Structure 1
Amino acid sequence: MDRPNILILYTDQQRWDALGANGNNDIQTPNLDRLATEGVNFSRYFVQNPVCMPSRASFLTGQYPSTLRITRMGIPVPDGTITLPKMLRNYGYCSANIGKLHFLPHANRDHRQIHPDYGFDHLVISDEPGCYSDAYRSWVKHKYPDQLDYISVGLPPATSVWHQQMGIQDGVTFSPSRVLCYD
């Protein structure tokens, strides 16, 4: 028997009607609309918590945030917790998380520490640059090894040097026009 492919798109602060497939005439989302039309579009799905970490942890584990004791940001998923990717692995699936995962607190953490995999076979994570060997870090390491420190999050001296180069002071909003570009 063929197993179906499973693609879960999980976003933050997106209302159910922010897709054309769900009746929105003002926002054009043709690719998401096609996925919703050809696949499963949950029309009665409700998050268990409006805050990112508790909501994602609940979805990943099938448990209420209160059961996990993750009721706010900054509380990690307990070690050994059964997760959806672990369960899918038992049925022969290979799973990946691409994009934001956000299951570890950012503050007061050593971002050089490898992120737990939570049962995913592959992680390409963008929410905590600096603690993963992602494609961008690999490219910089290969092309500009002397610049690798500039893309590390929260690691001295990267933060202060980066802020100086970008002209950023405390309380100043980052502007995309200030992005460092490499040839």
Structure 2
Amino acid sequence: MLTWGQQRLSSEDELKRVQMHVYTKPAGFLGRLIGRALRFRIEDFSYIVNRKDGGLVRVEVGANSIVPECEVYQDAVRSERVSLTFSETTRLRRRINTNVLNVARYPVAEFDVESDERDAVKGVLHLHGQSHPIICVKQVVAHDLLVRCPISMSKFNVPSYGIWLGLFSVADEVDVETRISLNALKL
């Protein structure tokens, strides 16, 4: 709900040059050896800003808009390694929406900003019916502002995914990365 003096910027219109991704890492005995680190694209998100000073108030993400994108290298750059097939994308999306995030019960994830400093953004994340404070780190990379938010899924009671008694599983911590073009900051 918007209060007086706030404005909503959506990913469809005003935030076309803003990209949000979720990065996962493999875990488990066999997962660490032959598992795949994956990148998921967030398609539906919006920023709520103050009209007066342009300060960020809240970020809202549609939980059903997380789309599997590709396999990535497990380095600092996280460049694309291999694209996922259509069947892999469909299977992963169904698993995320029904088993992991329970989209029917928790359709929106929200991040309320408490303080926006030069090198970090602090706030409270509301995810999967739980609320916990998190700190996101900001840095400038090339012509982009990069905001990385490490999130421990177990703190938010998000069930971990694993097969074969945990031999292949997904690490508890995921990274939500927002890449904002410096040209887009001149709204």
User: When the two structures are superposed, what TM-score results if normalisation uses the length of structure 1?
Assistant: 0.27
Q: Which is richer in helix? A: 1
Q: Which is richer in strand? A: 2
By relative contact order (CA 8 Å, sep 6+), the higher-ranking structure is: 2
